[in-house]
A and B are shown apart, each in its own frame.
Chain A
């Protein structure tokens, strides 16, 4: 569990995060959504310690991460996996060297065990015949898969994903979203995803935080979002007619589903 308490962050006179509090729940895909410049990337960077908060606390399972020095942060950092927007693979290393890097650095496994673990992770992200390739030789979607494999290789408790769908086609985006969601449930990880992709919101959003101008504007699940009356959220999520139609269809589906369940439950009682 990650708890954020009254996080504030400014760059010069500009206040980027204004008193943000939230809980990121384990085994769930926690989404941070919001328009560009709403502070979601800064919030994620504050959570992983790449930026220092001006005030407030970030707690990892009750441990105050913000009060720790670099040395004290190391054990928690080794429980964190992160997939960056541009994948951040090491250019000079092959795919398998990239995935083995955290193992080489931190694990006490033998070489054979490390290779076995690396191959398990590659198989988990369904990446074949790319072991010896360099990042420059593989596609954007494959880079994301390698990034995910590298992030999960040390069995992390927390997975951070920054814009997983940027630069990907819709089909690959769906595959990556599904992979992240499956891994979250499978390993019971606390996953935090930073996105403004509406497909991800609708399909993977177990817990959604909507950021607007540095503030937490709304919080709920992907089902709650359909019935939300929050104008700013609706303007952001359902900006296009296409998504407005989807919203109405989902509403109808849910009503129908609710009535059907109620009928079934009533029939059962009789």
Chain B
């Protein structure tokens, strides 16, 4: 398969540049932005809750399994769970899942609009479709996804606490004590930096693939799959780059 990196990268940058224009009607853009916030934010809340609770629970159990020495206090488990969730699992794992959920939704929605000439219809009316259709999606992702990551971190820790209690690994008091031990606020800044970067990736990349679909239903499916794969690879790449730069 031919992969033309510079061709796609150039077109992607042009798409982003094309988004910056004066809105035809601010009220309509606001309405679209709010609609996207509901679709992307509230629409993904259920899956985020489930994933984060189980991530926290599994992390607690597996950390306890690896801490075999009696010299290490049990509260360390909570400390490890907290930092693992804040630094890596809440932003990265949740955003990889959201890359699939939100990414495929954005790519297929725009792809379907392209194929059924709905985008052309708006262009002919004199609407800047890049600004009206893509802009609110990216902005909504930037507003809601970091919020989901924060919720995921809290719920993950809660899941860890409950799993520790239920399996008898660690008591509630020990877990709470561990959570307060050597907490570094910079980790939260790092997690949010990741969340904003990933939000941009999982909204703009699928928008690019969906907006530029040509062909029929098969191509919409293909664009959706490519968008999710590319988003996930870029999230992992950005994960390493941010860790190397900020830690």
Contact = CB atoms under 8 A, between A and B. Distances in A.
A48 B126 contact: no
Contacts of A90: 118, 121
Contacts of B126: 73-75, 77-78, 106
B173 interface: no
Contacts of B181: none
Contacts of B1: none
B125 A78 contact: yes
Contact of B125 (A75, A91, A102): A102
Interface in B102-128: 112, 116-118, 120-121, 123-128
Contacts of A70: 128
Given A91-B112, A104-B25, A105-B25, A77 B125 contact: yes
B25 A106 contact: yes
A105 B24 contact: yes
A82 interface: yes
Interface string B123-142: 11111100000000000000
Contact of B124 (A71, A82, A89, A105): A82
Contacts of A160: 124
Nearest to A78: B126
A204 B73 CA distance: 88
B226 to A, nearest CB: 23
B243 interface: no
Contacts of A84: 117, 120-121
Nearest to B25: A105
B42 to A, nearest CB: 16
Nearest to A150: B121
Nearest to B124: A82
| Range class of the B interface residue count | 10 to 19
B176 interface: no
B28 A88 contact: no
B238 to A, nearest CB: 32
Nearest to A77: B126
Contacts of B121: 82, 84, 88, 90
B28 to A, nearest CB: 5
A50 B123 CA distance: 8
A7 to B, nearest CB: 18
A88 B125 CA distance: 12
A226 to B, nearest CB: 35
Residue picked from A74, A75, A88, A101, most chain B C-beta under 10 Å: A88
Interface string A98-119: 0001101110000000000000
Contacts of A82: 121, 124
Contact of B28 (A50, A78, A80, A104): A104
A90 to B, nearest CB: 6
Contacts of B127: 105
Interface string B49-77: 00000000000000000000000000000
3 tightest Cβ-Cβ pairs between the two chains A and B:
A77-B126, A88-B117, A88-B121
Given A74-B24, A82-B124, A88-B118, 17 more contacts: A50-B120, A73-B126, A74-B126, A77-B123, A78-B126, A80-B125, A84-B120, A86-B116, A86-B117, A88-B116, A88-B120, A88-B121, A90-B118, A91-B112, A105-B25, A105-B28, A106-B24
